[in-house]
Structure 1
């Protein structure tokens, strides 16, 4: 191996070391968008390791928001243009949040005539945390049934008859729920029952969620 080849190997190794250590998610892809090399930061965005990204389609990992952007890039690469290309993308982080950002692709090659590879960098712009159903607030079986009857329009007297309680007994359970949830009136109490997952949404007549009952 001559001196020039030795220097080339040295600089290649230095470049790979820098590539692995840079905090920006970076990958090298072939002209079709298949990952050839990825750094740990890029792999972390996909919840995997660099080796497992090899051969994956970068536009399947990071979904383009506008297909026309991808079409323009494909046409430009076919014509061997050397511009920088940007694609707005979305993807899911390992934690489940939907992230959005921008992929920047720069064609790179040793000669002008050589089919270029793509140096791809990902810029994270933000994320949207998935909305989760609230954990049902614990209530007793009687409280759950009282609340369901109230949501269905029952009066204190009717709720007492259906549950085999006195009117004072029903009022006692309603006062406890109102104090626990800080509800100012019965309308707010019912609304909080749905918001806290105690009452099953979309069901008539109203019924308490089974898992909400202690």
Structure 2
């Protein structure tokens, strides 16, 4: 449908109105991560207005917990793969609270050959004050399992690496998920980074030195 067609203009305006009213933080970025369009919910998370977000780098606003994951996504996009990508991130919210969550990026374009834009949605998982003390205690084996999962290991591989059975690994994951209120493994890893159980800025992922029994 031609963009100058009156019907196309009407549907575009409706789509933009819906975009603005969605309560979930959403942005449209180019393939390099520069924000082209953001809704008010996304701007609120950044403490600004939608217009001021245009041109900003989404991964400068929302800091990835694991840099290697971003590079793998960038490589996949260069190869025009069209999977859904998820990145665990942290950012500074209103009032200086340190927040953590998950960015989900879906490549979108009119044709397969066209370089895709990225529809980016933010899932807010929680927050903690910057100087709030954290008394997170996990068993060394649990920290090791979390590090393996952060590196992309399956349950079977985590079992081999730790000398546990697959049921043993699943037991520890269920225990941690229940303790932290994590809905899935991606959220569990994100919380492990946010709580300081996994060391940030290192690859392969590793337990932080404070992880203890």
* TM tier, smaller: 0.5 to 0.7
Whether 1:7 and 2:13 are equivalent positions in the alignment is no
* 2:24 corresponds to: 24
* 1:95 corresponds to: 95
TM-score, normalised with respect to structure 1: 0.59
Deviations 1:13-62 (A, max 9, x none): 10000000000000000000000000000000010000000000000000
Q: Give the drift of 1:3.
A: 10
SS of aligned partner of 2:113: coil
* 1:45 corresponds to: 45
TM-score, normalised with respect to structure 2: 0.60
Contact 2:47 2:93 in 1 (8 A): yes
Q: How many equivalent pairs are there?
A: 133
Q: Which contiguous aligned blocks of 4+ residues in structure 1 show a shift greater than 6 angstroms?
A: 1-4
Q: Give the drift of 1:131.
A: 2.5
Q: Give the drift of 1:6.
A: 1.8
Classify 1:2/1:50 alpha carbon distance in 2 versus 1 (closer, same or farther; 3 Å).
Answer: closer
CA distance in 2, matches of 1:54, 1:69: 24
Greater Rg over alpha carbons, structure: 1
* 1:194 corresponds to: none
CA distance in 1, matches of 2:2, 2:57: 38
Q: Give the drift of 1:68.
A: 1.3
Q: Give the drift of 1:4.
A: 8.2
C-alpha RMSD of matched pairs (Å): 2.1
